[in-house]
């Protein structure tokens, strides 16, 4: 029974709790035991909270016994990325600078999950400040991949994706500032949604107009369930959009017949490994089976990394500059890069970045007058060994982070985008298909991913390390 619980979708788990077929305490104990057994091999959780989890589970069980009104996640375990506050727990941000930082308030989306009945298992690992797409830091070390524990889990929500892939919790609260939900979801073979910017409210800090909160799950329906809980308008967040009037979960089975879909293997400029391109192209063509018209088309922009850095690093330079010299000495190399790059940007550089961002927005608006969805790879390769970032992709030389050119553009535009598992390479490592929709059409992206999931299911595949 424990193995059945570990791989049960959150939607089914919540129903079983509500119908008194499963005990929230038994569920929590199952996951805590699995974390104890499996987490040392992958380091997905940097903090486990067994006392909190069991207390919440006992309260959930008592509520079921009393016949109380139950939230939609009642008794369902969740994890929270270590960039987000839970009162009384450390929020280290993966940094020695904040190793003793104890939170006094809630991240909005974290509180929403717990208020809906979620049981908090612990905090998942992240690179320092969430800056890079590999989850490794001086405080907790590297998070690795359940499909091959010598390889990266991606980042910055690598702990979240690794935990979900290993059956250490069905729902993980994640964030995406430049691909940080989608990249680890692709690398670990799970589902990850970056909703429209503002769809899920966020506390101040970080890349203010770039970073999205979102779910990492094994099934699309579980992500829709989490979205129904987390997606609301928060008056304290000036960028929070109106609460969605429908139900993401209620709409996820509607199908996508008649949609116009664009497929691009490289956006016209990106290097890509042949195995990744082939798997994603085969997946894109399967959308024809779902009643879509699929055409090859490029959206017509180039590498957006310079624009991304012009806008974001000055803000990093500001707050890092407010730290002491001793604190900055504790930081890892990526943080120093963002600090130095940001200090070098002029006001005109930032203005140029914002101008180019607006031009990208209008280019994508025009593109979506013809196409409902854009499909591409999520990243240019599969998981590489820890500490061995590739210098070549598809026979082309690349610079640092040159293997991840597909995701940043849609943080600049704020559009919803997801990584949906679509296959494996010859080494048995997962590959993700990038599904991008118009702004505010989160439901359509979920519907498209759910429709693909139905003809190409993946959730039954379990990493050897986690069986």
The whole-angstrom distance between residue 390's C-alpha and the CA centroid of its chain comes to 22
H helices then E strands: how many in the chain? Answer: 16, 17
Among 23, 72, 79, 81, the active-site one is 81
Residue 379 to residue 433: CA distance in whole angstroms? 9
Question: Cis ω on the peptide bond leading into residue 156 (within 30° of 0)?
Answer: yes
Question: Rounded to the nearest 5 degrees, what angle is found at the Cα of 382, between the Cα atoms of 378 and 384?
Answer: 130
Residue 322 to residue 319: CA distance in whole angstroms? 5
Residue 184 to residue 419: CA distance in whole angstroms? 9
Which is nearest to 148 in space by CA: 193, 188, 93, 91? 188
3-state DSSP assignment of residue 151: strand
Among 72, 79, 156, 162, the active-site one is 156
Residue 317 to residue 328: CA distance in whole angstroms? 11
8 A C-beta contact, residue 93 and residue 128: yes
Which is nearest to 296 in space by CA: 319, 266, 322? 266
And the tokens for 380? Answer: 């240019």
8 A C-beta contact, residue 270 and residue 406: yes
Please give the full DSSP string across 240-263, using - where no structure is assigned: PPPPPSS-HHHHTTS--TT-EEEE
Residue 180 is among the residues annotated as catalytic for this protein: yes
Residue 186 is among the residues annotated as catalytic for this protein: no
Please give the sequence-ordered ranges of beta strands (E in DSSP) within 303-447, or none if there are none: 373-377, 392-393, 396-397, 417-424, 430-437
H/E stretch holding 145 reads: strand 144-145
And the tokens for 32? Answer: 């805590």
Residue 174 is among the residues annotated as catalytic for this protein: no
Q: HSE-up of 36 (CA within 13 Å, CB side)?
A: 8
Beta bridge partners of 431: 423
Long-range contacts of the stretch 236-240 (C-beta < 8 A, 24+): 236/108, 236/201, 237/108, 237/198, 237/201, 237/202, 237/203, 239/197, 239/198, 239/202, 239/208, 239/209, 240/198, 240/201
Residues taking part in catalysis: 81, 156, 180
């Amino acid at each position: 029974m424990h193995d059945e619980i570990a791989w049960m979708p959150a939607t089914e788990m919540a129903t079983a709790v509500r119908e008194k077929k499963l005990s929230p305490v038994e569920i929590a104990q199952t996951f805590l035991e699995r974390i104890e057994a499996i987490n040392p091999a992958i380091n997905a959780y940097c903090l486990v909270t067994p006392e909190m989890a069991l207390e919440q589970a006992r309260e959930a069980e008592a509520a079921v016994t009393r016949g109380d009104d139950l939230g939609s996640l009642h008794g369902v375990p969740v994890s929270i990325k270590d960039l987000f506050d839970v009162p009384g727990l450390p929020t280290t941000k993966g940094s020695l600078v904040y190793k003793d930082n104890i939170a006094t308030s809630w991240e909005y989306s974290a509180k929403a999950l717990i208020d809906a009945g979620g049981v908090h298992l612990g905090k998942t690992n992240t690179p320092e400040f969430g800056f890079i797409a590999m989850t490794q830091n001086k405080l907790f070390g590297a998070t690795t991949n359940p499909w091959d524990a010598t390889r990266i889990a991606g980042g910055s929500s690598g702990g979240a994706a690794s935990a979900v892939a290993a059956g250490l919790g069905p729902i993980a609260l994640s964030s995406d500032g430049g691909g940080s939900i989608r990249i680890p979801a692709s690398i670990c073979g799970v589902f990850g949604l970056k909703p429209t910017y503002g769809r899920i409210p966020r506390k101040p800090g970080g890349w203010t107009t770039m970073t999205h909160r979102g779910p990492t799950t094994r099934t699309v329906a579980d992500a829709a369930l989490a979205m129904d809980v987390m997606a609301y308008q928060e008056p304290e967040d000036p960028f929070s959009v109106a609460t969605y009037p429908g139900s993401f979960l209620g709409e996820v089975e509607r199908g996508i017949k008649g949609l116009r879909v664009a497929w691009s293997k490289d956006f016209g400029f990106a290097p890509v490994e042949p195995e990744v391109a082939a798997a994603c192209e085969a997946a894109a063509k399967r959308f024809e089976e779902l009643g879509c018209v699929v055409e090859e088309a490029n959206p017509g922009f180039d590498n957006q990394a310079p624009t991304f850095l012009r806008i974001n690093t000055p803000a990093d330079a500001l707050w890092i500059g407010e730290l002491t010299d001793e604190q900055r000495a504790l930081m890892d190399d990526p943080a120093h890069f963002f600090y130095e790059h940001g200090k070098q940007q002029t006001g005109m550089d930032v203005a140029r970045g914002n101008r180019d961002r607006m031009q990208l927005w209008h280019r994508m608006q025009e593109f979506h007058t013809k196409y409902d969805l854009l499909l591409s790879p999520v990243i240019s390769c599969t998981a590489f060994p820890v500490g061995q970032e590739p210098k070549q992709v598809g026979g082309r030389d690349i610079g640092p982070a040159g293997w991840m050119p597909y995701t940043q553009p849609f943080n600049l535009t704020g559009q919803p985008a997801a990584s949906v598992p679509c296959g494996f390479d010859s080494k048995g490592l997962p590959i993700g298909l990038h599904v991008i929709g118009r702004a505010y059409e989160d439901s359509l992206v979920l519907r498209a991913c759910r429709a693909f999931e139905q003809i190409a299911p993946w959730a039954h595949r379990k990493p050897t390390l986690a069986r």
